[in-house]
């Protein structure tokens, strides 16, 4: 049975994470707790979000496939909030690299809700399809934990507490409803300044986007969290990550589905 962690330690950790978010600086000292139970991770993330105080406009989902979970050592989906200051809608943006210390870029398939799915916990991919519009996207991820901290600071529960390692979400063009593509195999060209492309993830690592969406909606609903019309959910990377670099331009080309271009000042 997981050890009960004192509320004051949980709150102290939430304070640390919220301050790191506001300051855009990593936590360099050992955190006051090392969480191993995802329920504690949810508690910390919820507290952190209240301290940050921004509207939540969507969710990011990590570890959305069995292959991804085996590779990264997670026991299930790792959710995180998308705050209003971290949502960018459109095909081209100029962003401040200093806002994303240690940030990494992931091209993803994301969804915009056309109506709220409510608090049901039995959604399937087929059920959700009519409620959403698909978009190409780039997620900017990054841990608030400094790289020198031990690996235990980046386990599943700790990552959940750290907002699922979410920084920001860039929503690109909407995918036409009649577009024909296999999201598990669709080629995505992610590259920096015209350099070599990131390697595409194989089908066993990629998640089926609508299935990942259903899993995420059901997980949130089980926690009493509903999504609203207009909210976005992103569902897992299609390639290996590339770093955020000041002075660089990153292009994510999804072929006929759309392209996103980000320039980091």
pLDDT digits (tens, 9 = 90+) for 198-236: 999 999 999 999 999 999 999 999 999 999 999 999 999
Average pLDDT over every residue of 27-50: 95
Position 2 confidence tier, pLDDT thresholds 50, 70, 90:
low
- What average pLDDT does the segment 112-135 reach? 97
Q: Please report which confidence band the pLDDT of residue 27 belongs to, taking 50, 70 and 90 as the band edges.
A: very high
Q: Which of 2-6, 108-112, 253-257 is the least confident region? A: 2-6
Q: What are the structural domains of the chain?
A: 56-264 (3.90.850.10)
pLDDT band at 12 (very low <50, low <70, confident <90, very high): very high
Residue 148 buriedness (CB in 10 A; 0-12 / 13-18 / 19+): exposed
| pLDDT at residue 1 greater than cutoff 70 | no
Terminal Cα distance for the chain, rounded = 48
Evaluate if pTM is beyond 0.85: yes
Q: What is the pLDDT of residue 7?
A: 84
- pLDDT-derived band at 3 (thresholds 50, 70, 90) equals low
CA distances from 229 to 86, 104, 136, 242 (A): 18, 28, 18, 31
- Residue pLDDT, tens place only, 154-174: 999 999 999 999 999 999 999
d(CA 131, CA 113): 6
């Amino acid at each position: 049975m997981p050890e009960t962690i004192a509320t004051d330690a949980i709150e102290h950790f939430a304070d640390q994470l919220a301050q790191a978010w506001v300051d855009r600086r990593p936590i360099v000292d050992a955190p006051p707790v090392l969480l191993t139970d995802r329920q504690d991770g949810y508690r910390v993330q919820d507290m952190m979000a209240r301290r940050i105080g921004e509207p939540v406009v969507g969710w990011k989902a990590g570890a959305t496939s069995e292959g991804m979970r085996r590779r990264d050592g997670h026991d299930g989906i790792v959710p995180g909030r998308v705050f209003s200051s971290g949502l960018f809608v459109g095909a081209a943006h100029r962003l401040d690299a200093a806002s994303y210390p240690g940030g990494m870029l992931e091209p993803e398939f994301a969804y915009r809700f056309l109506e709220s799915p409510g608090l049901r916990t039995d959604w399937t991919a087929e059920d959700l399809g009519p409620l959403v519009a698909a978009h190409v996207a780039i997620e900017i991820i990054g841990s608030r934990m400094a790289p020198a901290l031990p690996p235990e600071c980046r386990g599943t529960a700790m990552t959940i507490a750290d907002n699922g390692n979410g920084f920001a979400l860039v929503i690109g063009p909407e995918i036409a409803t009649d577009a024909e593509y296999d999201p598990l195999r669709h080629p995505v060209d992610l590259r920096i300044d015209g350099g070599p492309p990131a390697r595409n993830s194989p089908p066993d690592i990629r998640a089926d986007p609508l299935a990942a969406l259903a899993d995420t909606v059901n997980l949130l609903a089980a926690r009493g969290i509903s999504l609203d019309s207009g909210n976005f959910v992103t569902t897992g990377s299609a390639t290996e990550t590339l770093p955020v670099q000041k002075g660089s331009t990153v292009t994510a080309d999804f072929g006929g589905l759309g392209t996103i271009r980000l320039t980091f000042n």
